[in-house]
């Protein structure tokens, strides 16, 4: 302990599950007062890389109208049996990863704000598709899922009732749970280049 440490310390941050709970509460307060601060926009550009491969690039997102640069890339392919080269996860696996990751943040933040310390969260999603839809063999067959199943295994110092409450909240507030389970309007533009 040195002299500096003897001075009046700043209030320590309350960190639960790695989440700065005071910062989270601050964000909630700020957005409650000014909803424009909670408007967020995402964008991804993907380019065909031959056969069934594509590469996606993230260059920025926007928060409260302000563009924030960050750069990531993701590769997607199909398995050998689906005419791909099996060099990367496929679009269905990206969709499930998107769902799993989104609900995971929901469980972690939901526990943090209640002061519940988590040991682990594991989410498994699975679903079956009938390829007659994608291949246009039968227009009566859906190209996507009829239903998908996700199972979350959670461990921590909360009560079963608290975990049930967090779970129910996640089902109501997770963006990707909503995006998959509810219909989203998609405006699709085609530009034919010369």
**Residues from 65 through 84 that contact a second copy (CB under 8 A):** 68, 70, 72, 74, 76, 78-79, 81-83
**Binding to a second copy in span 80-119, by CB under 8 A:** 81-83, 86, 88-102, 104-109, 118
Task: Report which DSSP code applies to 143.
Answer: S
Residue 61 contacts a second copy per CB under 8 A: yes
- Cβ distance 51 to 83 under 8 Å? yes
Residue 176 contacts a second copy per CB under 8 A: yes
- Taking the C-alpha atoms of residue 19 and residue 118, their distance in angstroms, rounded to an integer, is 11
**Binding to a second copy in span 149-168, by CB under 8 A:** 149-155, 160, 163-164, 167
CA distances from 114 to 73, 101, 162 (A): 35, 20, 9
Q: Which of 2, 3, 11, 187 binds a second copy (CB under 8 A)?
A: 187
- Taking the C-alpha atoms of residue 108 and residue 15, their distance in angstroms, rounded to an integer, is 12
Q: Which of 22, 67, 117, 122 binds a second copy (CB under 8 A)?
A: 122
Closest CA to 169 of 117, 121, 105: 105
Q: Which of 5, 12, 48, 140 binds a second copy (CB under 8 A)?
A: 48
Q: Which of 4, 10, 116, 148 binds a second copy (CB under 8 A)?
A: 148
Q: Which of 22, 67, 134, 157 binds a second copy (CB under 8 A)?
A: 134
Which residues, other chains included, contact 11 with Cβ-Cβ below 8 Å and sequence gap of 6+? none
- Taking the C-alpha atoms of residue 137 and residue 148, their distance in angstroms, rounded to an integer, is 23
Residue 43 contacts a second copy per CB under 8 A: yes
């Amino acid at each position: 302990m040195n002299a500096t440490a003897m001075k009046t310390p700043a209030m320590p941050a309350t960190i639960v599950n790695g989440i700065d709970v005071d910062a989270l509460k601050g964000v909630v307060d700020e957005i409650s007062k000014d909803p424009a601060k909670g408007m967020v926009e995402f964008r991804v550009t993907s380019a065909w890389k031959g056969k069934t491969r594509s590469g996606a690039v993230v260059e920025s997102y926007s928060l409260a109208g302000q563009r924030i640069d960050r750069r990531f890339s993701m590769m997607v392919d199909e398995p050998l049996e689906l005419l791909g080269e099996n060099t990367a996860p496929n679009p269905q696996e990206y969709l499930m990863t998107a769902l799993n990751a989104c609900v995971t943040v929901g469980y972690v933040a939901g526990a943090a704000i209640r002061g519940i310390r988590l040991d682990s969260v594991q989410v498994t999603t699975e679903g079956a598709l009938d390829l007659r839809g994608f291949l246009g063999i039968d227009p009566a067959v859906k190209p996507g899922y009829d239903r998908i199943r996700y199972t979350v295994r959670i461990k921590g110092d909360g009560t079963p009732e608290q975990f049930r409450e967090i779970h129910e909240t996640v089902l109501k507030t997770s963006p990707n749970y909503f995006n998959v389970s509810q219909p989203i309007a998609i405006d699709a533009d085609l530009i034919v280049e010369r």
